[in-house]
């Protein structure tokens, strides 16, 4: 597949919400959507960072200022309040925000931080925004996963809290597996309901973002953070390139429902291409169980 951001169609009149758009892949996703004419809502939890990102995006996009939305995905009551503030049709939701490999932490609702933020927060946000999405003519939801979803072979309801045993990388992989299971189950449910909502997934490969160093910094391991940062600087592709699979999934007219995209070169870097989810991620029975657990955990449902 040959593709670049120059292939993104004119998005004038389309409205998008991108989570975690203050830096990294989310920032680059929001920037290209703005550059191609979309009205963009930047949703993130730190108001100061969100304001700075909005100013930077305005300057970099030639004066197209995004809306800002305070959103803390680790607080389900806050997710509901944020979704209630979104009015009018929403054409595109990019579930991009995430945390990677922190020391054990819990969300405001008592869930393990990675599962609670990366999956449950986005599950609840998507469900709460579904009425706005269904007001659009051709709504699309893109959920960002990771090739790390292939490192785990299963998922249980106990993983929502991980109170008995916690491995930061195992928990991260499980949260990314949940992202893909959700993506594919949302597609199945939308089609079963006769809806024209398109659900697709993406992963950025190995991209230089703050995610790799945030976990060690939270744990006070600054030397580890510097080493990881240096390693990423040598081997990883840019955050802008990491955003290409998300942008392709979000904007290409060629995207089929339930598709998943990642970088072409070994899944680590390069132009986007169709990627293959793990066998576990394609398990519809596990996806249905995850959906049930997620409804119970969040009090939100879609389709």
Query: What residues act catalytically?
Result: 172
Residue 270 has φ and ψ, to the nearest 5°, of 110, -175
d(C-alpha 229, C-alpha 182), whole Å: 31
Distance CA 40, CA 16 (A): 5
DSSP state, 194? T
Please state, in angstroms and as integers, the Cα–Cα distance from residue 46 to each residue in 27, 50, 175, 273, following that order.
Answer: 14, 6, 22, 33
CA distances from 88 to 50, 91, 98 (A): 22, 10, 26
Q: Which two tokens stand for residue 300?
A: 């939100």
The full length of the chain comes to: 303
């Amino acid at each position: 597949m040959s593709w670049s951001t120059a292939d993104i169609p004119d998005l004038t009149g389309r409205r998008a919400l991108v989570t975690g758009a203050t830096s990294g892949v989310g920032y680059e996703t929001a920037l290209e959507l703005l550059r191609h004419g979309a009205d963009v809502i930047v949703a993130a939890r730190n108001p100061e960072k969100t304001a700075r990102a909005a100013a930077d995006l305005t300057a970099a996009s030639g004066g197209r200022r995004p809306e800002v939305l305070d959103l803390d995905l680790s607080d389900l009551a806050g997710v509901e309040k944020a979704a209630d503030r979104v009015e009018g049709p929403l054409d595109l939701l990019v579930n991009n925000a995430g945390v990677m490999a922190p020391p054990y932490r819990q969300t405001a609702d008592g869930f393990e931080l990675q599962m609670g933020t990366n999956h449950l927060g986005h599950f609840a946000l998507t469900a709460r925004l579904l009425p706005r999405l269904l007001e659009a003519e051709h709504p699309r939801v893109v959920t960002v996963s990771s090739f790390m979803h292939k490192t785990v072979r299963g998922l249980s309801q106990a993983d929502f809290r991980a109170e008995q045993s916690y491995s930061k990388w195992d928990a991260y992989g499980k949260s990314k597996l949940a992202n893909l299971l959700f993506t594919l189950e949302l597609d199945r449910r939308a089609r079963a309901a006769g809806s024209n909502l398109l659900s697709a997934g993406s992963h950025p490969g190995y991209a230089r973002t703050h995610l790799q160093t945030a976990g060690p910094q939270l744990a006070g391991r600054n030397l580890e953070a510097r080493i990881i940062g240096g390693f990423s600087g040598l081997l990883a592709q840019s955050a802008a390139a990491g955003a290409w699979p998300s942008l392709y999934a979000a904007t290409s007219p060629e995207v089929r429902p339930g598709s998943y995209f990642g970088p072409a070169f070994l899944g680590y870097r390069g132009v986007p291409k169709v990627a293959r989810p793990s066998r576990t991620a394609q398990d519809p029975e596990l996806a249905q169980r995850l959906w049930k657990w997620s409804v119970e955990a969040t009090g939100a449902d879609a389709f």
